[in-house]
Structure 1
Amino acid sequence: MTAWSGRLIRWHYLHHRSVLVLLLAASLPGITLGCDEGLYGPDCDKVCSSTCEFGRCDAVTGKCLSCPPGKDGSQCNRDCKTGRFGHGCDQYCSRYCWSGSRACEPVDGTCLNGCKAGYLPPLCADKCPSGHYGINCTSDCISNCLDGKCDHAYGYCEKCPVGKTGGRCLKDCPSGTFGMDCAENCPPSCLNGLCHPITGQCEACPEGFKGEACNETCEVGTYGLNCSQLCSSACVGGSDLCSPSDGACLQGCEPGFMPPLCDKECPDYWYGPNCQQRCSVMCKDTLCHAINGTCINCEDGRIGTYCETECPLGTYGQNCAYQCSTNCTKRTCDRSTGKCLLCPIGQLGDYCDKVCPTMRFGPSCWLACSASCQDGLCHHETGDCFSCPTGRRGKRCHKDCSPGRYGIGCEDRCSRQCEGGFEQCNPVDGTCKKGCLPGYMPSLCLDECSKSTFGRNCAQRCNQTCADQVCHFKSGKCFSCVPGWLGFFCDKECPLGTYGAGCKGVCSDNCEGGLHNCSTTDGICRNGCVAGFQPPQCVEECPSTLYGPNCAELCSENCTGQECDARTGVCLSCPVGKEGDFCETECLPHRYGANCSEVCSAACQDGVCHHVTGVCYNCPAGKTGDVCDQNCTKGTYGPNCSSQCSRLCLHSECHRKTGVCHHCPPGRIGNFCNEECPATMFGLNCKQSCSPGCLNGTCDPETGFCLDCPEGKIGYHCDQVHAECEASTDSSDTACYGICSEHCVGGVKSCSPVDGACHDDCEIGYLPPRCAEECPPTLYGPGCSMQCSADCLDTLCNHVTGSCLACPDGRMGDMCDQECTSTKYGPECSQNCSVHCVDQTCHPASGICTACPRGRTGDFCEQECSPQRFGARCLQICSEACTDGLCDPVTGSCHSCPAGITGDQCDRECPSGLFGLGCEKTCSSACLNGVCEAAIGSCLACPGGMSGDLCDQAVPIPATAKPAKQEADWTTIGVAVGAAGGVLLLTTLVGCIVWCRRRKGNFSDDTVDISETSTRF
């Protein structure tokens, strides 16, 4: 410090209403003026407050020259008032902090709860940088926005690219418009007035026009929308001669092509210019060359360019390429199918490839086999029996067996054990007519008696006491006896006390009732065993877990190992915790262990414990552990320490027996700290009184801070006073740190000087009481009292009007309260429903068609029905009767029917008199009654004197032929005479047979069976 001999001028600054006060101080001559840094006072012996920034203060007054961030006051000992921050609290929190201008960090101004939408943390003073928006600027503007720029708060695009519109530029320009902001109209010549939303080029032109503006006519040889299709080269006169609008050939089509476009070959069954001529019905499936009509293939049985010639004799099938079967008589067969016209003897079938069925033979298999044949079966050509029934012989099985023989073919010999000799047997089955000799079994007398029978005809049964009931087949003596019996015929029972085979077994003395109750068969005691022995023979003692007569009782489950005395059932030993003969009694309540010899711990509640383990059932209050020898751990109390101390107790500590809290935290009282301090008290045990400056004397029960202050008072204890603030945005007064909102109704001069609340409410869209914040994103309107429409996307709307910021797919309108029109869908209803949908209507969100027209399927009805299906969603199957199973995908009507069939479903034959494809041909007038086969037109019958497929060939008449009536009369007479002659011949033949039988007494092998003969006739 420099000493002056004159005056020293010192400048001091006081910050109050921005007034600079100049103080002039004079120092006495010879006195050193000014203090060292950090000291003040007349003698510079006082130290500046440690709270001053850099420890510097005024050398005279000691007031701090400056304060560190977050502090103010002459000694920098006061925290910044709410809403201020920085050096000397000279800066204001941003009004864009999320909770308003009272919610920032007093040192550096960081907003405590983040920023309002559109402002950049941490100070929330700057708007989001370009390309970002939303809370804390964490959202990116969508790519649809022009240059990626959008509204800093809610992300609305500032401007849209060419051809786009809407808040998020998701919509294409409305129909009929294009360009920047969709401000230009599409050219009027565009089809339906539609053009590309960006370039304005027509999406499509009317038929016959082309070009970006559809103002150019099609070039020669082209036609249709945008002149994109080429005229057919099959037009008569060439591709230049077609309509530019629809491509129809002006002079018709060349042969083989179908009008009007001449771009498709003739359909099946048609040929020639414009496909107006029908293929020949003789062609295979009526199919021919589309240009000249020559058959592609012929119907079976025909050949030639137009299939006009039948197959030569002995051939058949397509192009007559097949030979008739060698089985056919003279190899003659049907020219179409190849079926034989006549078969050899013993054969039948379409191709004579089958022999006669069983029991038939001869030409056409119309003769029956002899009834004497085995099962009626014979050779299909000769009629000879394959085999004879038992007792018969001969080619036709007409002879009986000779004596001593029987069976099939009389090949078996009768038994010599027949009573009366082998001649006494039946020739059919060989049974002995008078029975068998002793020891042999009827009825054939070939086998000895079975093991259990003997005597004549084996009619007697062996004694049941014979072993296996087997005895000698003639005498009946037993070979051995069953257990318990003796003698040749095993008819003597074992002596008392013995049993079994040969009576060699000895009965047990433990049978109940003595030896009389021992079975002689197997030694089983009939009345059971005495106590301690187990049946059936009472020789073995009971198992360790059973006791009593017959070991029928189960030892008590209480016995150790469930083992007991075999006679009495008394337990051999008891498990721990049980006592008594049958271990049925648990230990007394105060005892436990083996034989109940242990005493429960005295620490147990009432001295009672578990009878096996000795663990206490319950412990008294404050104790725990198996034998109640442990105190409760911290935080628990009561019996078994099973209760938790109140969470309101300080450090959750309480008395281990009663649960009473040791101490309560500040602001609470009571045994369990469950009561708050009285309204005017606070602190530990509620012993401190609230500041007298608090409104109504009430304060926070924990901290003592006033809950509210009287008007004009501020501070935690309402002990600071400031002058009344004027209604102004001027914040230079240290007591007036708030700025009235410009959104108060009535302006910035219409708010409370105490808390900034607007006197006359807020402008629409701002949050009371201070009106400094916009409504939260889901609220809008006066006082933010209205809820955004639930139809809005994410329930977000404009804070003033309530109009939705965006709509979900399928909805539109300011409030998103309108569904898309029936033909629109998607975001902002900007997409058109598929043209294939019924009435072009679809789901407003997904675009899936509401319904498909008949003949189409798929979500967007984009697929035609697959072949052989039709109807709604292609769920129906075409009739199997349709040619190739193909039908109209809409109606299901068959495209075409096979020859001879008609109807939408090919379910009717041609009407009488018509035939062929579509039943369009008329039967030949030469057919009888004009009726013919429906497929190919062959006459079903011809008038007299005519023949041939079309009845066009006369039948030759011999020169000696009589008139028809005379011929019919002679025919009738001939039939009558023939019948009479047949009867006479039959009678004569029968007489001869009878005469021969009487003469010879028997038929020879070659004799004809009368039944066979009659069958033939």
Structure 2
Amino acid sequence: CPSGCAAGYSGESCTQVCPSGTYGIGCASTCSPNCAADGSGTSVCDAANGTCLLGCKDGYMSPMCTQACDSGWFGKGCMYKCQCLGNVCPTNGQCSGCQPNWFGPACQYADLTQASSLPSTQPSLTDNNDTTCLSASNLMSLDVIWSMPYAFTWMRITVQNPALLNTFTVVYNSTRVACITLRNATVNNQTLDIHCEQIGLVSQVTLMGSGVSSLCSIYVSGGRDVALRQNTTQSSTYATYGSDKAVDGNTDPQFSITNTCTATNLETNPSWSVRFSIPEAVNRYVLYNRDTNPERLVNFNFTSLNSANAVVYNYMDASTTPLSVYTIVTTTATVSTVTIQLSGTNKLLTICEFEIYGDSACAVGMYGRNCEKMCNCANNNDPCFVSTGGCPSGCAPGYLGESCTQICNPGKYGAQCGLSCSQNCMGSGTACSNIDGTCLQGCKTGYKPPTCQELNAGNSYKSSFGAIVRAVVGAVATLVIAMKF
């Protein structure tokens, strides 16, 4: 090519694609270091224009991942709203404390206890402080009561006495219906996640057992807002009131002042839709109305579809007067698309925020906000929790923590990191595999690999033979001394 190769190619005949990690004319440009990396650790981008093919690393956005997240947002593609104390989040969202009403991994899970009876009856359990605990020493049960029913999926409790962590049972409603398939996962020696298979909507959850008197905190999951910054469309757009403003994390209802709401033109059957990047297990919808002309939203309807475009939930508003906030709770359904519509002519559809709560509908063995992480459980047939990666069967040998990703401390290995490396490992007594105790630098002389716990056969023989020789020599010496006297 007399004029040179096209962008993304090189070589004598311009057929050689740029090496991984490079792009552009003559492959002279380097992919952004903020591009997500492939299995080899190399940032991957389009050979022609540098667009990051695997998305961005946590904390960055834009096609070439050159733009850092706006303040208050974090994660891959800056898709997640910071709920950490002080509204300050690192790029992965992990922080030491959450704002009120939030808990869990990266503080992304709404805490339903704040809407229950607990803040008034047991404020120490809902103050977001795991060091303030109950003072009643003989309490054996505790009720969490709501004025409206919710879909119960999981809860987190912390206790003062670690010995009482696994002493709880869970029942529902005033009739004390038992939790179906209770599954627990230990976060640490004072924190436990409790999951139940859903039995329908509940308005009361009761904790029972000797551990109740040791409770310090209770969090009941209301799910994550899975609609945030997802792909949206609407049937038309009035002025600058684009469809994305319904999932921007801003619930301000001031339509004319803040410009944070959506709006269509006046038309027949206006609609707005959101499509999730992966299927989501949804059980709660919260719709925020505008402050002026709120009656325009009366008698809206919305439909939730799965990935096969089959209807899994349909809601029709039957109110005659508008509400500022509509909350619709359902049993959990796997959803890919949600569409809101107003029926009739000369209708204008405005949404100031549409929060949709649930969690990722991951395949068995996967977890995380994008189902991108693999469970690391002791028993692969008993998969981890989608929300945290916690394992009811315990972590795989060599690992600890909420999601079983924390490697044992040096010198420890095995299930629950409960075993110690052999002192016969070369290097030091800490130089062994966190999984099975294999001494990474081999054994000291005379000990048998891989864990160096046993003497090898030759050394055992030599030791025994030496003991015999020493005994014979000692006996002869004793006899000689006796003969002299």
TM over 0.5: no
Which of structures 1 and 2 has the bigger CA Rg? 1
Which one scores higher on RCO, CA 8 angstroms, separation ≥ 6? 2
When the two structures are superposed, what TM-score results if normalisation uses the length of structure 1?
0.14
TM-score between the two structures when normalised by the length of structure 2: 0.26
Name the structure with the higher strand share: 2
